[in-house]
């Protein structure tokens, strides 16, 4: 049986997993990882593979993995990709999904996070790129700038984030507008360097080059 993103979105079990995961991360001081974030990740993963010309079914599976990728966080931040993959596969099995597709989604979720995640196929690569592209001030929960840690400060400094797929140039570009009064570009790299390396490797799986542009200056 083929499962679609709308089916996963309508799953009450998935809704609870996402809500509890976001609640847990909020309690320990992490940025937003709830329905906003998973919605953006699913949408971007879909668009990346679609614009890169991949088959419709792979595009759909990337969106499903994007929607479910952070569910494991309520079991703890450490190992959340692997825990989330197990939860997702169990849900998809209960929905009578095709086993090959279930494994593809589970593998993408298990490998979406640095430093241990490795993108080896288009579905995983799309989820990695989509997840890391969601850097934005709307993810910051802390309402007091005086108590921002570096993660809050970097995210709050990003006033616009967008990702583009250029089929002709074979480039995937992450474009960020950063308010340097809040955060210097070097602070961004202090916590995001490993993520950008992961994005470069993910783009290469799609046979694309990864480009990062900050305040209209190309950095890679």
- How does 134-152 read in b/e, with b if 16+ C-beta sit within 10 Å? bbbbebbebeeeeebeebb
| Confidence band for 55, pLDDT divided at 50, 70 and 90 | very high
Predicted confidence (pLDDT) at residue 132 exceeds the cutoff of 90:
yes
| Confidence band for 73, pLDDT divided at 50, 70 and 90 | very high
CB-CB neighbours of 181 under 10 Å: 7
Q: What pTM was estimated for this model as a whole? A: 0.95
Per-residue pLDDT reduced to its tens digit, 4-17: 999 999 999 999 99
Give the Cα separation of 205 and 203 in Å (integer). Answer: 5
Q: Which domain holds residue 198?
A: 5-218
Please give the structure tokens belonging to residue 154.
Answer: 């970097």
Predicted confidence (pLDDT) at residue 217 exceeds the cutoff of 90:
no
Give the Cα separation of 50 and 202 in Å (integer). Answer: 16
Q: Cis before residue 186, ω within 30 degrees of 0?
A: no
Number of domains comprising the chain: 1
Give the Cα separation of 117 and 43 in Å (integer). Answer: 21
Per-residue pLDDT reduced to its tens digit, 17-27: 999 999 999 99
Cβ–Cβ under 8 Å, residues 133 and 56: no
Predicted confidence (pLDDT) at residue 61 exceeds the cutoff of 80:
yes
Write out the H or E segment, with its range, that includes residue 165: strand 158-166
Residue 113 exposed, middle or buried by CB count within 10 Å (0-12, 13-18, 19+): buried
**In this predicted structure, what is the pLDDT of residue 106?**
98
Domain CATH number, residue 164:
1.10.3210.10
**In this predicted structure, what is the pLDDT of residue 150?**
84
For 106-115, 190-199, 203-212, which range has the lowest pLDDT when averaged over its residues? 190-199
Predicted confidence (pLDDT) at residue 220 exceeds the cutoff of 80:
no
Q: What pairing do the DSSP bridges indicate for beta strands 171-178 and 217-218?
A: unpaired
Predicted confidence (pLDDT) at residue 103 exceeds the cutoff of 80:
yes
Write down the mean pLDDT value for the chain: 95
pLDDT more than 70, % of the chain: 100
What interhelical angle do 56-68 and 99-110 show, nearest 10?
50
Per-residue pLDDT reduced to its tens digit, 155-198: 999 999 999 999 999 999 999 999 999 988 888 888 888 999 99
**In this predicted structure, what is the pLDDT of residue 116?**
86
- Helical H segments across 4-98, by residue range: 5-9, 12-27, 35-51, 56-68, 80-94
């Amino acid at each position: 049986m083929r499962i679609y993103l709308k089916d996963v979105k309508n799953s009450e079990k998935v809704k609870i997993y996402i809500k509890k995961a976001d609640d847990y991360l909020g309690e320990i001081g992490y940025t937003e990882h709830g329905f906003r974030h998973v919605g953006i990740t699913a949408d971007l993963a879909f668009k990346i593979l679609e614009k890169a010309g991949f088959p419709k079914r792979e595009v759909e599976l990337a969106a499903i993995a994007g929607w479910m990728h952070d569910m494991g966080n309520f079991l703890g931040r450490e190992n959340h990709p692997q825990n989330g993959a197990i939860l997702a596969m169990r849900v998809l099995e209960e929905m009578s999904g095709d086993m090959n597709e279930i494994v593809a989604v589970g593998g993408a979720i298990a490998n979406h996070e640095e430093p241990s995640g490795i993108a080896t196929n288009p579905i995983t690569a799309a989820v990695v790129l989509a997840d890391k592209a969601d850097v934005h001030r709307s993810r910051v929960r802390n309402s007091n700038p005086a108590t921002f840690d570096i993660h809050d400060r970097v995210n709050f400094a990003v006033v616009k984030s967008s990702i583009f797929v250029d089929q002709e140039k074979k480039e995937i570009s992450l474009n960020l507008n950063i308010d340097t009064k809040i955060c210097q570009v070097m602070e961004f790299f202090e916590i995001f360097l490993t993520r950008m390396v992961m994005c470069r490797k993910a783009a290469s799986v799609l046979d694309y080059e990864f480009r990062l542009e900050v305040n209209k200056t190309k950095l890679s």
